[in-house]
Amino acid sequence: MGNTPSSSPRQLRFLVIGAGARGNAYARAVTTATTGVIHAVAEPHNFKRRQFGRNYIWHREGASSEGQEFADWREWMNWEIERRKRVSQNDSSNTSATLPAGVDGVFICTLDETHVEIIQALAPLNLHILCEKPLALSLNDCLTVYRTLQPPQGESQTPTPPSNIFSIGHVLRYSHHNILLRKLLLLDRAIGDIVSLEHCEPVGWWHFAHSYVRGNWRRATPAGDGSLLTKSCHDIDFILWMLCSPPSLEDARANAISPHLPRSISSAGTMSQFRRSRKPPAAGDATNCLTCPAERDCNYSARRFYNDRNLAKGNVSWPVNIVCPDIEDVFYAQGRSAAESHLLSRLAEDYDRGSTPDSAIASRPWYGRCVYEADNDVCDDQVVTLSWDDESTLPHRIAKTASFHMIAPTERVCERRGRVYGTAGEIAYDSNTISVYNFASAKTTVINVSKPPPDQMESHGGGDFGLARQFVSAVEAVENGGLDVETAQARFVGCTLEEAIRSHAVVFAAEEARREEKVIKWESWWEEKLRASAAACKA
């Protein structure tokens, strides 16, 4: 790979590691909204892998070719290393043998705890990377990724310039709605200087139970970081994008404009609802919905949610296919009755706290488990508060505050809403509209934000497609357009690796503030963390 423009631009090829919901979302986006192609998949689950390949790579009537299908990322990496040896040998012997193609970039869509190991392993291959959020489950691991992709040089420990495009799955930056909102606030200055921002993510009463009580994200990390990291790290990033980052990253680089960083961070939150003490008395000793005497009267009945409200109505996609990845195959091959039996057998799976090792309980989700008897420990209600000082240097930026509220028991599911207060007016927003009130005219302008096409609506309001499109555009600019990586990163991705690391760090700071019931002074806290990480690395 290099920065010399190609005389005949070639089609970019990408590998997707992890053929779950996020892997499918990005593959769909690349296939339908970019000039790139999904060339290969690495996924241990056979049905998921084959279905993914049929949908995006070799398609329904075909079969995989060499270099397109792997049981996991390690198998692909070993194959790729061997492929490169074959290419090198072919070049050195001046032969023209046809060799299987490699890829230009990788989408990492595996479980959160695997991201760091994969990135470290792939770094020597010099590929462009898009990693699903969160980047890592600890601040030290995030900084490890930073040192891996931009290792420090010299006594000053200045990071080397990036050699490849890197993007993180902070999809809120890339929806048409949020791009327009940011333009109104920062470029058009529709309400003057921003004084305060309130932002809320209503997770959804059943969605929280599915993912954060029964599902993969129900337990906090060893450091105690939970749902704020796994569910809402891109909401914190959204706030920082609105209130910290310069309007244009490319202009900021050219004019040496630094971000306006917060002065202090605090947080409060709790696991308020899904605890054994909240269990309805009528449920008795039952630990599974399928054997619970109170099941039919419980809002969180797994049978009612997964079967009655979804499978019975013909829905075999999310969230039913999260419980049973092969439910679609069973449904169409054997019929609805067989699919229901298959689903209920999975929901019936349970454990006994007294005899089942905790490691076995933690190793997988339990979608039929009573929500009041689960092993979850993450907050279902949390507030984060940030404050900024007035800046005396140019460009002058005034003091401001922001608050973020993540709340589980809501009607709306992940349909963010908020309000921004400024010196010349205020803006209210939800997922569909942006309302601008002007103090001088005493008038409100309501903007009905144009919706993405129907096939993109479920993808964070088009954010998945926007992120994939910008990532592929950045790679295209480097590989086929000859643009340097830093400029392409700024122009198309709009976020540096450093900025992504810092936004994660704010989440870790907020969680430390919540656990220890204190206020974090950002500048000194961040300097201390960086010093400790550098010292640990040298040791």
Q: DSSP assignment, residue 389?
A: -
Between the alpha carbon of residue 99 and those of residues 58, 85, 90, the distances in Å are: 18, 11, 9
* Contact of 389 with 408, CB cutoff 8 Å: no
What is the pTM (predicted TM-score) of this model? 0.93
E strand intervals along 152-289: 152-153, 158-159, 166-168, 194-202, 264-270
First and final C-alpha spacing in the chain: 34
Token readout for 338 is 């067989």
Backbone angles phi, psi at 194, to 5 degrees: -75, 130
Nearest by Cα to 110 from 83, 137, 128, 81: 137
Token readout for 378 is 């993450």
3-class SS of residue 66: coil
Neighbours of 293 (CB within 10 A): 12
The kind and range of the H/E element at 322 are: helix 320-323
C-alpha atoms less than 13 angstroms from C-alpha of 277 in its C-beta half-sphere: 3
Block residue for tokens 């993007």: 167
Q: Give CA–CA dist 366/77, Å, rounded.
A: 32
Block residue for tokens 């201390």: 528
Structure confidence at residue 8 (pLDDT): 63
Q: Give CA–CA dist 507/526, Å, rounded.
A: 12
160 Cβ contact partners less than 8 Å away, ≥ 6 residues apart: 150, 151, 152, 153
Structure confidence at residue 209 (pLDDT): 97
Nearest by Cα to 365 from 350, 354, 352, 380: 350
Structure confidence at residue 2 (pLDDT): 46
Neighbours of 415 (CB within 10 A): 15
* Contact of 387 with 506, CB cutoff 8 Å: no
Q: Give CA–CA dist 11/475, Å, rounded.
A: 11
Q: Give CA–CA dist 368/224, Å, rounded.
A: 25
Q: Quick one: residue 461, left, alpha or beta (phi over 0 = left, psi -120 to 50 = alpha)?
A: left
Q: Give CA–CA dist 177/185, Å, rounded.
A: 13
Between the alpha carbon of residue 174 and those of residues 99, 101, 200, 445, the distances in Å are: 37, 30, 18, 23
Q: Quick one: residue 94, left, alpha or beta (phi over 0 = left, psi -120 to 50 = alpha)?
A: left
User: HEC states along 121-152?
Assistant: HHHHHCCEEEECCCCCCCHHHHHHHHHHHCCE
- The matching CATH number, chosen from 3.20.20.70, 3.30.360.10, 1.10.4030.10, 3.40.50.620, for 171-273+378-538 is 3.30.360.10
The kind and range of the H/E element at 420 are: strand 417-422
Cα–chain center distance at 538: 31
Token readout for 407 is 């709340």
Token readout for 531 is 């010093």
* Contact of 365 with 86, CB cutoff 8 Å: no
Cα–chain center distance at 353: 32
Length of the chain: 539
Give domain limits for the chain: 171-273+378-538, 282-362
Structure confidence at residue 156 (pLDDT): 60
Q: Give CA–CA dist 235/267, Å, rounded.
A: 14
C-alpha atoms less than 13 angstroms from C-alpha of 378 in its C-beta half-sphere: 26
3-class SS of residue 23: helix
CA dihedral 455, 460, 466, 468 (to 10 degrees): -90
Q: DSSP assignment, residue 489?
A: I
* Contact of 376 with 213, CB cutoff 8 Å: yes
| Residues of the chain under the 50 pLDDT cut | 1-2
